Structure 1
Amino acid sequence: MTIAAPEHLREQRPREQHIRRQELAAFLRSRRERVTPEQVGLPRGPRRRTPGLRREEVAQLSAVGVTWYTWIEQARAAHVSAQVLDAVARALLMDPTERAHLFALAGTADPRTEAECTVAATSAIKVVERLAPYPAALQNARYDILHANRPFAQLFGDPAELPRADRNCLWLLTTSERWKRDFLDRDEMLRDLIAKYRAAMAEHVAEPVWTEQLDRLLGASAEFRALWERHEVAPMSPHVKRYLHPVVGLIRLEHRNMWLAPQAPAQRVVAYVPADEDSEERLERLAEAAAE
């Protein structure tokens, strides 16, 4: 039996789609009027009345039909493909922020976001370093470790010593013998992390970098495949992890996230704060031992 959506939701969806199409159309017109013919290698001509480019010129530059591009600017296009959006963004010389806004308005995943979360900003690195003596790392939405401070490396292992593809919390929790041995709540953590990853991936299902990472995990671990097939989702929330370090013993750490931006590139500082005085004292001992 098919359950129909509530009436108020059925009314909202066409209205939301209409608003999105109107916003997309207005945004494209504003970007088109900003770009001069000279910027894209076209002659200005003596009778140009339109500020910036004409619609047919944008269509020509992006290899899109004039009628179709006109419909987009008139908010008449029900769905615009990622390929068309990519071509138009290039033709209108959009910067990364404008491009992200374009795809968001169209409700379409950007196929060129592979590199959006692979570089750590200098300011974000400074934040991570300033959190010492507490372990901290900079991660993206896929749980790639972009940078880790020294306490993190001392406690969990140095990500910089691993191949770039392996510098990922989900990969390490799935495959690393060290993480399997030393995280006392590892099985529960893996189930929770996979549920969070599935929830995060809902916004990125068409992006190659996400699907490639998922395929790698599915191919590497039968345990991961079984948990993934449960289709569980979970929110980001603080929690305590137990870690048994071979030198200083049991350390209980509260896991905290601080997002650096509400939009792409989505990066967060993950800090591991001692959950009790014994854990704080053992972290200090570990730092002292490393300094000797």
Structure 2
Amino acid sequence: MDNRAEVRDFLVSRRANITPQRAGLPDAGNRRVPGLRRSEVATLAGVSIEYYAKLERGAIAGVSASVLDALARALQLDDAERAHLFHLAHAADGTSAGMRPRRRPTKRWTPRPSLQWVLDRFTAPAIIRNGRMDLLAANHLGRAMHAALYDTTPEGCPNFARFTFLHLDAAHDFYPDWDTAADTCVAILHTEAGRDPHDKDLHDLVGELSTRSDAFRRRWSAHNVRAHGAGTKRFHHHDVGDLELAYESVDLVSEPGLSLTLYAAEPASPTAHALDLLASWTATQPDAGQPGATTTAATSRQDRL
């Protein structure tokens, strides 16, 4: 990624999001562009207009933490946006090199047997992914829940971003609120790009999606970022119907750069019943832990009807 361009576009996009009223400033006259003027951001951050203009041109290398904090306050950045700004600054001055997770071999990562045992001990869906949104591992129920992704990638590693933007029929069916899922997916990728701007695989993925998907390209240009920690998601599974699941994501200390996501349904809810049904179907299949197992189960049920 071009660090200076990323810094410039990120600061400009955040400045455009803040109105004078929101910043507690008088709205003096018509504005040619939305949001604050550079001079207003400089005043709020306590720096000169010339200095802020230099920062917005992408010259952020060597900027002190206190100035970055002042910028974050002036632009009212949330926690994810503030972290992204610091990551961009670290990348600009080279200090991010020692903070990045160690490089992995180019061959596909697979979980250690003990890690897969841990996943399989969870009765709820559990998955492991990286910052590029590759779905690297899952327990039986996690694989069954994400059957739509595995079906579009019979060989190789499923990727949430490719699925969301390049397999639109399946993705719109799997995500009842596709727009929210798409926004979240791109924001996670942008966050990862700020954290590790030298990830060639991520560069290639962004380039592929930007070329093949207008929807992705529009969202990427918005420069939104977010932390993916906890919340609620809605899915539609082709066998058991609608699912509304709480999720918690945690970083794996033993596997830098990877995160574990656990899903859970409200007890006694329709989603809990649907997961129980999916789990029982999955458990009866001898290849339940393999791609396509859920499709096989669905076919065998239809044959019995």
Give unmatched runs, 5+ long, in structure 2: 1-37, 48-61, 66-90, 285-305
Q: Indicate the residue corresponding to 1:271 in structure 2.
A: 262
Q: Indicate the residue corresponding to 2:136 in structure 1.
A: 146
Q: Indicate the residue corresponding to 2:10 in structure 1.
A: none
Tell me how far apart the structure 1 counterparts of residues 119 and 133 of structure 2 sit (CA, whole Å).
15
Give unmatched runs, 5+ long, in structure 1: 8-12, 17-78, 83-100
Tell me how far apart the structure 2 counterparts of residues 200 and 14 of structure 1 sit (CA, whole Å).
21
> Contact between 2:141 and 2:282, CA under 8 Å: does it hold in 1?
no
How far has the Cα of 1:137 moved from its partner?
1.0
Q: Indicate the residue corresponding to 1:284 in structure 2.
A: 276
Q: Indicate the residue corresponding to 1:187 in structure 2.
A: 179
Q: Indicate the residue corresponding to 2:78 in structure 1.
A: none
The alignment's C-alpha RMSD in Å is 3.7
Which entry has the higher C-alpha Rg, 1 or 2? 1
Tell me how far apart the structure 1 counterparts of residues 154 and 229 of structure 2 sit (CA, whole Å).
29
How far has the Cα of 1:160 moved from its partner?
5.9
> Contact between 1:111 and 1:208, CA under 8 Å: does it hold in 2?
no
Q: Indicate the residue corresponding to 2:246 in structure 1.
A: 254
Task: Report the AA paired with residue 128 of structure 1.
Answer: L
Deviations 1:175-194 (A, max 9, x none): 23323212212211110221
Paired-residue identity, %? 19
Q: Indicate the residue corresponding to 1:167 in structure 2.
A: 158
Identify the match of residue 146 of structure 2 among 156, 160, 182. 156
How far has the Cα of 1:157 moved from its partner?
0.8
- Secondary structure of 1:242's aligned partner: strand
1:1-292 equivalence runs, <5 A: 1=38, 3=42, 6=46, 103-104=97-98, 115=106, 118-132=109-123, 134-157=124-147, 162=153, 167-176=158-167, 177-261=169-253, 265-276=256-267, 277-292=269-284
Tell me how far apart the structure 2 counterparts of residues 244 and 127 of structure 1 sit (CA, whole Å).
26
In structure 2, relative to structure 1, the CA distance for the partners of 1:222 and 1:127 (3 Å cut) is same
Name the count of aligned residue pairs: 204
Tell me: higher relative CO, structure 1 or 2? Use CA pairs within 8 A at least 6 residues apart.
2
> Contact between 1:114 and 1:207, CA under 8 Å: does it hold in 2?
no
Task: Report the AA paired with residue 271 of structure 1.
Answer: L
TM-score, structure 2 as length reference: 0.56
In structure 2, relative to structure 1, the CA distance for the partners of 1:290 and 1:14 (3 Å cut) is closer
> Contact between 2:102 and 2:256, CA under 8 Å: does it hold in 1?
no
Deviations 1:81-126 (A, max 9, x none): 99xxxxxxxxxxxxxxxxxx99417xxx799556498343333322
Q: Indicate the residue corresponding to 2:5 in structure 1.
A: none
> Contact between 2:129 and 2:258, CA under 8 Å: does it hold in 1?
yes
